[in-house]
Amino acid sequence: MAAEGDGTLTVRFTAGGLDKMCRRLVTWGDSVTVERPARLRRRLAEMCERLAGHHG
């Protein structure tokens, strides 16, 4: 974990797959931004769109 000059934190870690990562990240809501990898960012966006559609 690294503290950035703007007060944000950069967190890097390895997990057991994209879906598992997405389930963890979604608990942080809009307090988290996935920058890389792009496939994780896309998967998280897709999961959130499905979730919003389900509860729409």
What pLDDT digit, counting tens, does each position of 1-54 carry?
888 899 888 888 888 999 999 999 999 999 999 998 999 999 999 999 999 999
What residues does each domain of the chain span? Answer: 16-55
What's 29-52 look like in SS3? HHHCCCCCCHHHHHHHHHHHHHHH
Whole-number Å distance between alpha carbons of 54 and 34: 23
Whole-number Å distance between alpha carbons of 25 and 33: 9
pTM greater than the 0.85 cutoff: no
Largest CA distance in the chain: 38
